Structure 1
Amino acid sequence: MPLSRLPLLAGAALLAVTLGACTTTAPSSTPAAVETAKVEPQAIDEARALARDTAQLSGAARGENESRIERLLANLDNESLARVAASLPEGEPLYNYAGRALLRRGLPLPRPFDRAAASFGADDRPPADRDGYRPPQRLAVLLPLTGELAVAAAPVRDGLLAAFHGETRRRPEITFYDTTAGAVAAYDRAVAAGSDFVVGPLNRDEVDAVFRRGTLPVPVLALNRGAVDPPAGHVSFSLSPEDEGVAAAEYLLARGARNVLVVANNDETQRRAVASMRSRLAERGGQVTAVVPNTTEDFAAFAQPATPVDAVFLAVKGSTARTLVPKLALAGLGDRPRVATSQLLSGTGKADQDRVLDGIAFPAETWTNRGLAGLPSADSVASRLPSARGAAARLFAFGHDAWRLAAYLEHLARRADGSLEGATGVLRLDGFGNVQRTPAWSTFNGGRPVPLSDASRG
């Protein structure tokens, strides 16, 4: 059965008195990344041909084509990439790939993406407000409300409810559906009940099951990124480790680092972040010099390879990083830029011990990093809601942004400069139905996490 009244709903609703209305902002400019090759007409011709063919492909063949397109575009410097994108006519399949590459570098689009469906079900709603706010009329949220995954779903649910109750303008009727017995069945119940927009599901396999369904009569904002691309008119939003790897690569490339030593544990999440970071570096002309286990005692052999090390990427928890930093310094790598995944915060909290982490950059949520207009501080919310404490704060912020995306998707889709200042970062929508998230960046100073000034914008 649909669940419209949930535990902790009242707690989330209490936040409404201090929550403000949503706002939108345009993306800021980003300093130029490392220079790569200038435009080569034959490479662009090849990319255009591949993009035209890709629409007819699926599975591995489609993936190979798209990887080749990304490599060809990655060889272009920022100025050349922007010029190529601006020169492509409307309807040219390559434009969506070029535009996505621009977004990943923090660069503006010359025009909105070419889309088969840009309204995401908004055509039958009341007109949008001046800032683009145009929420659904009957919103369904698909989450695992019982079972093992309910623990992870609770902060997502409460973050969404907090943002929902904090909105002072018109709001939809909202109903929650438990996906424990199957996300596709939950989607069908939501559609049968008259929902005009669906947020969820959360599990990757469930997202694939829904997107493989074929015809989906009601637009979906999936809360994960699976193996199946969102069908036209549907969207995927994720806090995936792959996105963190891409963000780390772009962060380093923008600062001139091309040869990166990776120190990682064997956790699946960290392996995925490392793989995406390595791939993005390779696409942009950089490389991973070595992937070294976090149990390594002596890094001297990795500090003097044939290719010098420009930076170090730490895919480890903070408690592990504390033991690694002195070893890296002994090997002569202490003065290199150091970037980590968001797991750097795990196992920290004692300033006297964490001072050794000073200067390491890591991606963070805007809300926990420097606060977000209209949302009480993370400490304030955590004092009232257990589901917003500690590591759960990230999922709370994710749920907050899911509501905002549901209300602003049409705005993001129709504008070249469409963006949202979300709790998890700056949110933009690419031409393939994926939300691109630019995180805020933090570092340690005196053993305490602090915002890294303007790092989220390059």
Structure 2
Amino acid sequence: MSPSMTRATPLAVRTVLAALVLGLVAGCGTVATRTAPAPEPVVQSPVIAEASQLARDAAGQAGTERTRTEARIDTLLSQLDDETLAREAAAMPEGDPLYNYAGRALLRRGLPLPRPFDRVQWQFDAGNRPPADSDGYRPPMRLAVLLPLSGDLATAASPVRDGLLAGYYGERRRRPEITFIDTHGTAGGTLSAYDRAVAGGHDFVVGPLGRDEVDALFGRGTLQVPVLALNRGTVAPPAGNASFALSPEDEGVAAADYLLDRGARRVLAVGGESDTQQRAIASLRERLAERGGVVTDVVGSRTEDFSVFAQKDGGVDAVFLAVRGEDAHGVVPKLAMAGLAGKPRVATSQLLSGTGNAEEDSVLDGIAFPTIAWNNRSIRGLPGVESAAATLPTAKGGGARLFAFGFDAWLLTAYLEHLALSADGRVDGATGTLRIDGFGHVQRTPAWSTFIGGRQVPLAGAER
């Protein structure tokens, strides 16, 4: 067919169609026309409509105001069942301010994302990094680690440092040049230490460790070199930065989800007076409220008689223990006397503190508690817990948890791009399964353990 024929074809078709229409009009007194039905209007659920407006509001808020708004968004999304939440999230266009909240809710329920989180100002090519390996491994070129290597916090920082170095030296592929900067020994503290890292040409920073230090650094807003903070304060990570924490709040959330998934809605909380214990109880209460549960009472660990709390109207479905192991030894028999021995009992990881004698610890049998995955399974690049403890003093006892935390900080440094840009991005770390939400917070799914015969054992089927 010649070019001229190709151009003429549309005109010919229009001519034939016009003739057919004229013939129909001439042969009929009237012409029946059929109007296509109007499309059904898209009706947005009231829950999604309210949450969408709040998400738009939150984008312009900060501090306590934003925290309250985001809590209300989480509460609204918790009203949706899994199928509805997944469907609504999948329907949200890119850039919808509600998507990152909906995606975070999906992660917390152990559900897949329909697409990656919406990211802005995330850069992974600083320092001319080589392309990622097939498993997503793409560490920085020059890494600075900000830790208090002297002073009061050095005891906590040492196992974190050694765990990070265990991961670093256990990797056979390309590794970055690494520099440790003492935030306690640096004039000007954490902010000056960060500035030193930037001036030194580092393209990624891990740390700081203290909550106030994290707030001070993130309070600067835009940061020249991206940061993986090793704590979570009140200031959200600026775009392109992340935070990783072993926080009591996360354990409270994990405990609430564990109980809710097993049908427990009314939970009696027993806790000590420490800040860590009270924060775990507060997050448990908030999480239960988001998903339709309630803390019936918060009772001190020195309470002698729990009967009055067990016999309240509505009853008690489960017990949450935010206490140390040595305190739990005395609390658990009193719970049994109040008729609560057969109820599900969940504790924080503090339950391990003061344990180690199987005869004494047998009273703790059946209590579920979150723990580091390193206790329950082998971790690539790490020796077993007992083997590490025999070699490194910082991996012994309570230090094992911080050692695992430091190891995972290395993994996050090397796999951050994979986690941030993949819909199914995850890393099985020493502290648990790691993902990162749309706001830069690392979401950790812990392993679960219990006591049997006074000995800690993995709790099969507990991970979501």
Same fold at TM > 0.5: yes
2:178 counterpart residue number? 174
Instruction: Pick which of 111-120 and 288-297 moved more.
Output: 111-120
Rate the CA distance shift 1:60–1:145 in 2: closer, same or farther, 3 A: same
Q: Distance in 2 between matches of 1:97 and 1:316?
A: 32
Q: Distance in 1 between matches of 2:382 and 2:126?
A: 26
Instruction: Pick which of 142-151 and 363-372 moved more.
Output: 363-372
Q: Distance in 1 between matches of 2:229 and 2:369?
A: 26
1:110 counterpart residue number? 114
**Conserved in 2, the CA contact under 8 Å of 1:262 and 1:291?**
yes
Q: Distance in 2 between matches of 1:308 and 1:371?
A: 41
1:190 counterpart residue number? 197
1:85 counterpart residue number? 89
Do residues 354 (structure 1) and 361 (structure 2) align? yes
Alpha-carbon distance, 1:323 to partner: 1.2
SS at 2:376 equivalent: helix
Alpha-carbon distance, 1:371 to partner: 2.9
Q: Deviations over 1:88-112 (max 9, x none)?
A: 1111000000111111111111111
Alpha-carbon distance, 1:370 to partner: 2.6
Q: Distance in 2 between matches of 1:287 and 1:454?
A: 25
Q: Distance in 1 between matches of 2:215 and 2:383?
A: 35
List gaps (5 residues or longer) in structure 1. 1-38
Q: Distance in 2 between matches of 1:319 and 1:391?
A: 14
Do residues 247 (structure 1) and 249 (structure 2) align? no
Do residues 238 (structure 1) and 242 (structure 2) align? no
Do residues 147 (structure 1) and 151 (structure 2) align? yes
Q: Distance in 2 between matches of 1:379 and 1:339?
A: 26
Q: 1:216 aligns with which of 195, 206, 223?
A: 223
List gaps (5 residues or longer) in structure 2. 1-42
Q: Which has the larger radius of gyration?
A: 2
1:337 counterpart residue number? 344
Q: Report the count of equivalent residues.
A: 419
**Conserved in 1, the CA contact under 8 Å of 2:142 and 2:177?**
yes
**Conserved in 2, the CA contact under 8 Å of 1:47 and 1:72?**
yes
Q: Distance in 1 between matches of 2:126 and 2:351?
A: 40
1:153-164 alignment, distance < 5 Å: 153-164=157-168
**Conserved in 1, the CA contact under 8 Å of 2:127 and 2:140?**
no
**Conserved in 2, the CA contact under 8 Å of 1:289 and 1:307?**
no
Q: Distance in 2 between matches of 1:73 and 1:43?
A: 7
**Conserved in 2, the CA contact under 8 Å of 1:220 and 1:234?**
yes
Q: 1:295 aligns with which of 294, 302, 323?
A: 302
SS at 1:169 equivalent: coil
Letter paired with 1:272: R
1:258-337 alignment, distance < 5 Å: 258-337=265-344
2:129 counterpart residue number? 125
Q: Distance in 1 between matches of 2:321 and 2:334?
A: 13
Alpha-carbon distance, 1:60 to partner: 2.1
Q: CA RMSD in A?
A: 1.2
Instruction: Pick which of 344-353 and 368-377 moved more.
Output: 368-377
Q: 2:446 aligns with which of 439, 445, 451?
A: 439
Q: Distance in 2 between matches of 1:120 and 1:141?
A: 18
Rate the CA distance shift 1:120–1:207 in 2: closer, same or farther, 3 A: farther
**Conserved in 2, the CA contact under 8 Å of 1:199 and 1:223?**
yes
Q: 2:66 aligns with which of 62, 66, 72?
A: 62
2:372 counterpart residue number? 365
2:21 counterpart residue number? none
* 4+ long deviations beyond 2 Å: 117-124
1:31 counterpart residue number? none
Q: TM-score scaled to structure 2, two decimals?
A: 0.89
Q: Deviations over 1:117-145 (max 9, x none)?
A: 34445583100000000000000000001
**Conserved in 1, the CA contact under 8 Å of 2:141 and 2:177?**
yes
